[in-house]
Structure 1
Amino acid sequence: MRLTVLALDGVFDTGLTVLLDTFSTANELAAMQGIDRPLFDVQLVGVSGHVRTAMGLTACAALPDTARKPDWVIVPALNAKQPDQLVEALGRPDVAKGLAHLRGWQAEGVGMAGACIGTFLLAEAGVLDGREATTTWSLAPLFRQRYPQVRLDDSRMLVPAGPVVTAGAMMGHLDLALWLVRQASPQMAALVARFMLIDKRSSQARYIIPDHLAHADPLIERFERWARANLAAGFSLPAAASALAVSARTLQRRTEAVLGKSPLAFFQDMRVERARHLVSIGQSLDEIAGEVGYADTATLRTLLRRRLGRGVRELRTETRP
């Protein structure tokens, strides 16, 4: 399988190296298994013939016009973790050149893959228009506002959508790389996962921090403060809207536009986050249930298991040394 990694200046070092190391490991393990040719022919491409990473390292790279046609183009993340930094980066001349090459590869029928902020580059190039996709959960509000034509589901770690595949936050590069290995050989993917200690993570929902997302919009930030003060009382859309001096319809629309979910769903996220913290510090389930608005511990146990994929005992041991 021919792979082209399109890396722009300021690329997230870990994302780039995770991709290259995973494919290199797959080739090494294939050789150990007696396979006489590499599974992956990987070419690093940069719009200026070299790539300077966010940490200041420089790597030689082929120019896009001289690169051979790949089966997949992979776009790792830029190291721009804040919305204003990312918007500025997307306006750079070298990024514009990279986007033009992405459009050209797409027109030739090449598969397109991106992880974390690399998904913004795919969306900026129009590659994700009308498709399902995921992205780094921390910048999902910006993604929704900037690319309304993309069907975003930031709860998922990996979203294959025909000839395009996207992966979630930062270490989603690892999930993306393993998915591509799986396309070449499911058996080799399982072997690589064992050698590299890669856990199966179908969702990034349990990593999302509601408080962080709330700061993306003034109304959502006010709603988040109201919700935290009313976790024990339970959710009421009319009460929330009245307290925020907006209509229920306005609150509903804003949370869906910014967060991609209803006010009730966001309220439930905060309940889970608070309960998870209280479980980790050893508070009793009876006390926790009352504090987050549940009548009994059985409902709370079920909710935590369903939303976090782990039971109370596992959550209590997570923070122990």
Structure 2
Amino acid sequence: MRTIGFVLSDGFQVMAMAAATPFEMANRLLGEPAYAVRMLSEHGGPVRSSLGFAVETEAVGPAMPDTVMTVGAMLPVRAADGVLAFLRRAGAEARRVAGVCTGAFALADAGLLDGRPATTHWAHARTLQRLHPSVRVEDDRIFVKDGPIWTSAGMSAGIDLALALVEDDHGATLAKEIARRLVVYHRRAGGQSQFSALLELEPRSDRVRRALVYAREHLTSALSVEELAEAASLSPRQFSRVFKEETGQSPAKAVEHLRLEAARAMMEDGRHPIDVVARETGFADRERMRRAFLRAYGQPPQVIRRTVRAGGTI
């Protein structure tokens, strides 16, 4: 059994605790206690969350979990000296050490991120870089793995990180099934952007939002204006007009952005041939996808995949 130790400090962000659920679900699906989840703090006892309620914890001690995960707060704060000492020891003794959201600051304060690539919530990435110039902060990544050190972006990205840790232990099939059980759209690849195309479009009405969600879930379809208008319960003419008013883009351009987002995630994941990526994201063929990548990123898909494999940023 592998022990996952979540290190909490006063004011920890509740949403970050969702990262514990994939380990719980792994136990259920495997039919055995593959993981034991423990809540740790400097002195043990109740630790208050950002919402005011407390979680009971054990004091950090000589026993070292298999995986140590620091849980961030709404704003980055320096961890207590006892926690930092424990994290330094974890860097040498634990199999893996991870920071969820601003939990990366604790890892950086403990010296575990020196010279390493790392990420955190985009709103605090510049602060992390300023306070720790030796860290190679990648402010537009869902999570970053560098050897035994993992860091994730904010809030819900902790779930992606936890799913990746489960996949690291038990394979992609289990991680995918856990994501399905948790009603997570999919496990986002570590290199995927923290910014979603759906959020950037920011439609005001439920009808346009419904059409965009439909498009993202049916990328292999042609996604004509007529098809999207039907999903929005509007006539094609009404839909095109309302869509442009609310998003500032044509439906075709917005669909291309959704396809690019999905294709880039698959390319960075690195497990699919380019022809498969093009087909699964609705580009139909690799040449059409290549032209779209050049328009959006100034680079063809192959270059993006090579850059990620080499540990670089885009």
Asked whether the equivalents of residues 39 and 184 of structure 1 are also in contact (C-alpha less than 8 Å), the reply is no
Say if 1:130 and 1:191 are closer, same or farther in 2 by CA, change over 3 A. Answer: same
User: Residue 52 of structure 1: which of 40, 48, 64 is its match?
Assistant: 48
Change (3 A) 1:281 1:188: same
Aligned CA RMSD, in angstroms, stands at: 2.9
Distance 1:71 1:164, change over 3 A: same
* Paired residue secondary structure (2:80): helix
Alignment deviations for residues 156-202 of structure 1 (CA, whole Å, 9 cap, x no partner): 11111001011112111111111111122122212111100222323
**1:192 is matched by which residue type in structure 2?**
I
Which residue number corresponds to residue 2 of structure 1?
3
- Structure 2: tracts of 5 or more residues without a match: 201-242, 264-280, 283-314
Q: Indicate the residue corresponding to 2:113 in structure 1.
A: 128
What is the aligned counterpart of 2:162 among 177, 198, 211? Answer: 177
1:168·1:204 contact (CA, 8 Å) conserved in 2? no
Query: Could you list the runs of 5+ residues in structure 1 that have no partner in the other structure?
Result: 32-36, 81-85, 211-277, 289-296, 312-321
Does the CA-based 8 Å contact 1:182-1:188 persist in structure 2?
A: yes
Instruction: State the distance in 1 between where 2:83 and 2:113 align.
Output: 16
Q: Displacement, 1:130?
A: 0.7
Does the Cα contact within 8 Å between 1:133 and 1:153 map onto a contact in 2? yes
| 1:15 match | 16
Asked whether the 8 Å contact 1:78–1:117 carries over to 2, the reply is: yes
Residue correspondence of structure 1 range 141-156 to structure 2 within 5 A: 141-156=126-141
- Partner in structure 2 of residue 206 of structure 1: 195
* Cα distance between partner residues in 2 of 1:283 and 1:173: 32
Alpha-carbon deviation of 1:78?
A: 1.4
**Residue 268 of structure 1: aligned partner:** none
Q: What residue is the counterpart of 2:291 in the other structure?
A: none
CA contact (8 A) 2:7 2:41 kept: yes
Match of 1:116 in 2: 101
Does the alignment pair 1:165 with 2:150?
yes
Query: How many positions carry a matched residue from both structures?
Result: 217
Partners of 2:163 and 2:187 within 8 A in 1 = no
Contact 1:206–1:308 under 8 Å retained in 2: no
After TM superposition, the score normalised by the length of structure 1 is 0.60
For the pair 1:281 / 2:246, whether they are aligned, the reply is: yes
3-state secondary structure, aligned to 1:139 = helix
Are 1:25 and 2:25 counterparts?
A: yes
Task: Give, as a single letter, the amino acid of the residue that structure 1 aligns with 2:175.
Answer: A
8 A contact 2:118–2:137 mirrored in 1: yes
